[in-house]
Amino acid sequence: MPMQEPQAILFDLDGTLVDTAPDLANATNALRLYHGLAPLPYEVIRRQVSNGGSALVTLALGLEATADGHAQARQYLLDAYEKAVAVHSRVFSPLDVWLNDWHSDQRPWGIVTNKPRRYTLPLLEALALQPGALLCADDLSVRKPAPEPLWEAARRLDVKPEQCWYVGDHSRDIEAALAAGMTAVAVGYGYISEEDNYRQWPADLWFEECKALVDALGAFKR
């Protein structure tokens, strides 16, 4: 079936729109160094980035979320990240070029992320990203996989949910998109664990490479 043209594109942030793994990996290894441990390989950390700060602490120190010392370690990691939130992070190529064209055409787009605003805003400012709608983890009483942040983003862009694509690299992104009545787009270039197969997620569309996503989106260029 031909793809239906979206009126707006919504993105997950980490691992979908922006490659933030290098800076998060540095923060994770800073935590290990603080505890006298050797750095972990970048690719090992990269696969856990979409699972959030608690998952990175568990990876770095073996502390589960309920363990003593986990909360303190998580705060240390986040503090280290906040000091260098956009040193190496970049918009995935060639999504950066496509996004500039889409934005220039005044077509609506937005970001719905489970990242708190405290870390999101400095990142977007450093990358000169200006989404028409931005929903972060602390903006509503619920976050993904709940559909409400996606609905609110669509409302702010003045489009209907069914007119939106939501693009993400985690199963919760797909769950949220489907619950919101949006076209659920799964990408395989993001931060996906070894045991996870993104093509088994119940998405509407799947793209292995960022270029394939951009080629599909390019078909809707006015």
List the domain boundaries for the chain. Answer: 8-20+89-218, 21-83
**What is the strand order of the sheet 205-207 is part of?**
133-135, 109-112, 8-11, 164-168, 183-187, 205-207
Provide the pLDDT for residue 222.
57
Torsion of CA 88, 92, 95, 97, to 10 degrees: 30
CA 97 to chain centre: 18
Provide the pLDDT for residue 195.
87
The catalytic site residues sit at: 12, 14
- pLDDT < 50 positions in the chain: 1
Provide the pLDDT for residue 1.
46
Q: What is the pTM of this model?
A: 0.94
Q: Tell the CATH topology of 8-20+89-218.
A: Rossmann fold (3.40.50)
DSSP conformation class of 163: G
